[in-house]
A and B are shown apart, each in its own frame.
Chain A
């Protein structure tokens, strides 16, 4: 006869992390990656701060920035963090339908942000600020371009999750996958919080 006890199950078992630490290896890997990405953006932001006022010709930050427009983009990206958090909460509860809705909303908000960035870059270029116009242009496009590339990768990951969900491969038992993509997405938002203040709002 089986001797069954009803003690609380270990967290590791609840979450299906069959690792010696009880932590999901994939989640740990994502955190290590995000930590290393801090260095990438730390380097790019440092470079921008040190070089932005060294241009001797061409347009500068005050000539091109459209703060009200960028503020709307920032707000859109911030709200995508909310919808991402709601997507993670939904899949953890086992609510697959709402998870799909929030994942799609997050991807669309991310795409709106990227659309805004493309419009901004195009406007700056038409006004005379190209990538090689001056050192400010190079530093600005490199920093914000890298961030935009991160957002695009995030959108691809969100769409992949949606595809998995529609194929029936993304249930509550795989909520970790949504959480890990969520970590990446929130990181992209966090980096924009820094860029928006340091690059756009402080002259």
Chain B
């Protein structure tokens, strides 16, 4: 005779935030179309001068390209890598790595640029 413990069906058995509803194939295709369009817009900035008649400033390019890059990054991580649907611990681990990576860049920037002789020479005029 087998005795099993009755399970309370009202209790959510899934681990914290572990949602299993992943996108359908068609939704994946729509996400890929969005990514393709964003890439086309990004590449369009290369032809900026042909379109607008003047060369873009680096600041204008950064302001145009970085939001598109960010949207593409978050879309791939959220939908294709399932971070939007999976256990939140994966998202935390990944964001932790990203923060460290940005920290590396900031540290290198300070070491090579702001604390360099060239920079202080620039400040002194």
> Separation in Å of the A178 CB from the closest CB of chain B?
12
Check A183 against B81 for contact (C-beta < 8 Å): yes
Cα separation A91 to B77 with both chains bound (whole Å): 20
**A32–B93 CA distance with the chains assembled, in angstroms:** 6
Q: Do B104 and A42 touch across chains, with their CB atoms under 8 A apart?
A: yes
Whether B97 contacts A35 by the Cβ 8 Å rule is yes
Q: A68-B43, A193-B69 are in contact. Are A8 and B9 (CB under 8 A)?
A: yes
* Partner among B3, B69, B97, B108 whose Cβ is within 8 Å of the Cβ of A46: B108
Task: Indicate if the CB atoms of B39 and A35 lie closer than 8 Å.
Answer: no
B80 to chain A, nearest CB (A): 5
Interface size on A, residues (CB 8 A): 63
> Is A197 a contact of B66 with CB atoms below 8 Å?
yes
Distance to closest chain B CB from A68 (angstroms): 7
Query: Chain A residues with Cβ under 8 A from B31's Cβ?
Result: 82
On chain A, the residues within 8 Å of B82 by CB distance are: 179
Q: Are A81 and B13 in contact (CB under 8 A)?
A: no
Question: Closest CB of chain B to A74's CB: distance in Å?
Answer: 6
Q: Which residue of B lies closest to A10 (CB)?
A: B13
Does B120 lie at the interface of the complex (its beta carbon under 8 Å from any beta carbon of A)?
Answer: no
**Smallest CB gap from A37: residue in B:** B97
Cβ of A50 within 8 Å of any chain B Cβ, yes or no, is yes
CB distance from B44 to the nearest CB of A (A): 10
Which chain B positions have C-beta within 8 A of A182?
Answer: 80-81
B62 close to A7 (CB less than 8 A): no
A43 and B104 contact, Cβ closer than 8 Å, known pairs A23-B15, A194-B69: yes
Contact between chains at A34 and B36 (CB < 8 Å): no
Instruction: Spot the interface stretch: A121-129, A150-158, A159-167, A184-192.
Output: A184-192
Known: A3-B3, A23-B15, A50-B109; 13 extra A-B contacts, CB below 8 A, are A1-B1, A7-B7, A22-B15, A23-B89, A34-B97, A47-B108, A68-B43, A74-B39, A78-B32, A86-B28, A186-B77, A190-B81, A201-B43
Identify the A interface with B (CB < 8 A): 1-12, 14, 21-23, 27-28, 31-32, 34-39, 41-43, 45-47, 49-50, 67-68, 71, 74-75, 78-79, 81-82, 84-86, 89, 92, 179, 182-183, 186-187, 189-190, 193-194, 196-198, 201-203
